[in-house]
Amino acid sequence: MIKSNIHTHTIFSDGKNEPDDIVNAALQEGFVTIGFSDHSFTPFDISYCMPQENYPLYKKTVSLLKRKYKDKIEILCGTEFDYYSPSEMREGFDYFITGVHYVKINREYYPVDGDPKDMQRAINEGLGGNENDFVRLYYENAANCASLSPLYMAHFDLLTKYGKINDSSDFYKKTALEALDALLDKDIPIEVNTGALAKGIKQVPYPADFLLKRIAQRKGSVIFGSDCHDMTKLSFAFEGALERVKNAGIKNILEYRSGNLQPVEL
């Protein structure tokens, strides 16, 4: 059983639940670690992120929970730092993870995982209908996340969320693998993310099997995260995702324990 999840969202960004309620859900599932990673502030899109003025209250709330539950569970205060967020938005936390939620084209930020029409608009209006250019721009951003030195890379192939990208093409696979290698070169763990399964959008977790196999070949590291927005799905589909990881040839996963990422043999 996976007993650590540090990719969760609360009412401080786009989650459904209070932090205290999520802690109790984690305790009921036998977790030893729970980390909050509400979305960092993005000034060009405030629809789902944590408002800048709420950062102090967020940190104070989690600090109080740490003291309240110190003898029961390890609690961490983190953030999911967007590639385009201001750099100061990742400071002052126990950890930060990172993800690419937008592609910037001609000064406009197009969401990758919002309404799928936004991605199509980016391709049609911003790139003259060239889907490969969108894939290239997305994975350039993903590769550049290596320079941020996050705790790990969240939902690496997020652009496949709605099945609108031809992820079976040679160009797609080559581009994705090059970006993945850039992260693995810097020893950045890759998240096995079940969030889209919990929402009924995808049938398989991120990243795709061919990417998991590259991680195994490179002896890279993976960490599980449910990208939880609803506490009833705190460990959604972890068991099935674990089988995919094993089948890819990955021998251990990382879990956050006692202030550090630690390998757990499968």
pLDDT band with cut points at 50, 70 and 90 for residue 124: very high
Strands 222-225 and 260-265: unpaired
Share of the chain above pLDDT 90, in %: 97
Q: Which of 190, 172, 171, 170 is nearest to 180 (CA)?
A: 190
Q: What pLDDT, on the 0 to 100 scale, is given for residue 76?
A: 98
Kindly tell me if the per-residue pLDDT of 143 is higher than 90. Answer: yes
pLDDT tens by residue, 154-203: 999 999 999 999 999 999 999 999 999 999 999 999 999 999 999 999 99
Mean pLDDT of 83-108: 97
Mean pLDDT of the 234-240 span = 96
Q: Which two tokens stand for residue 241?
A: 């995702």
CA neighbor of 208 nearest in space, from 235, 228, 179:
179
Q: Is the pLDDT of residue 264 over 90?
A: yes
pLDDT tens by residue, 11-33 = 999 999 999 999 999 999 999 99
- Hey, what are 211's tokens? 């990417």
Please say if the pLDDT value at position 1 is more than 90. no
Residues 6+ apart with CB under 8 A from 235: 2, 5, 29, 226
- The 10s digit of each residue's pLDDT in 209-221 is 999 999 999 999 9
Q: What was the pLDDT predicted at 189?
A: 98
- Above pLDDT 70, what percent of the chain? 100
pLDDT band at 10; cut points 50, 70, 90: very high
In this structure, which amino acid lies at residue 254?
L
Categorize the per-residue pLDDT at 204 as very low, low, confident or very high, splitting at 50, 70 and 90: very high
Q: What is the reported pLDDT for 44?
A: 97
Is the backbone peptide bond immediately before 116 cis, with ω within 30 degrees of 0?
no
Q: Is the pLDDT of residue 259 over 90?
A: no
- How far is the C-alpha of 169 from the C-alpha of 197, rounded, in Å? 23
Average pLDDT, the chain: 97
Query: Is the model's pLDDT at 258 over the cut of 90?
Result: no
Per-residue pLDDT band at 94 (split at 50, 70, 90): very high
Segment 134-140 shows an average pLDDT of 98
Q: Which residues contact 114 (CB under 8 A, 6 or more apart)?
A: none
